[in-house]
Amino acid sequence: MNEVTHRLMVVDDSNVIRRRIERANELPEVEFVGAARNGVEALAMYEAVHPTLVTMDLTMPEMDGAECVAKLVQRDPGIKILVISALADKLTAIDALEKGASGFLCKPFTDRQLNEALRKLIRT
């Protein structure tokens, strides 16, 4: 049996998407530790649950995902962040990566695509 080695926090303003990502994760080494609705909540939750892995939406109220990525990486340069966004243009993906994200998955996505993206992320 694989040991849990990654603690996953999900950040998205959609409850449906948050729950879907939590359900779809089938990687035994990844444990879901919490979900946040925006960047402000995510930064507070980070202090409480210390995730090592984050899925991050971009278009959110209060604080958007790009700003949150930059702040999380500033606090923890080793954190791995998968941006999951509907914003499908290349510049958005490049901007997220430049702010410190480790990967980008475009919405809509299948459960299989999500797991592949998470698997790739934890192997980087």
Partner 1 sequence: MSLESQVAVFVDGVLNYFDTTVQQSAQCGTPHLALSDKPEISDYTGVIQVTGKRSGMVAFTAPKSMLSVMLMRMQETDMGHENLCDLVGEIANTLSGNARRDFGHQFQISVPSVLSGRDSKLEYPADTRPIVIPIDWRNYHARLIVCLGG
Binding site for partner 1 (CB under 8 A): 13-17, 19-20, 23, 59-61, 85-89, 91-92, 106-110
Whose Cβ is closer to partner 1: residue 7's or residue 20's?
Answer: 20
Residues 6+ away with beta carbon under 8 Å from 96: 58, 65, 66, 69, 83, 85, 104
Whose Cβ is closer to partner 1: residue 12's or residue 27's?
Answer: 12
* Residue pair 38/11 in contact by the 8 Å Cβ criterion: yes
Q: Using CA atoms, how far apart are residues 49 and 98, in angstroms rounded to an integer?
A: 25
Whose Cβ is closer to partner 1: residue 44's or residue 86's?
Answer: 86
Whose Cβ is closer to partner 1: residue 38's or residue 102's?
Answer: 38
Taking the complex as a whole, how short is the minimal distance between the CB of residue 67 and partner 1, in angstroms? 14
What distances in angstroms separate CA 62 from CA 12, 19, 41, 57, 102, one per listed residue? Answer: 12, 20, 9, 13, 23
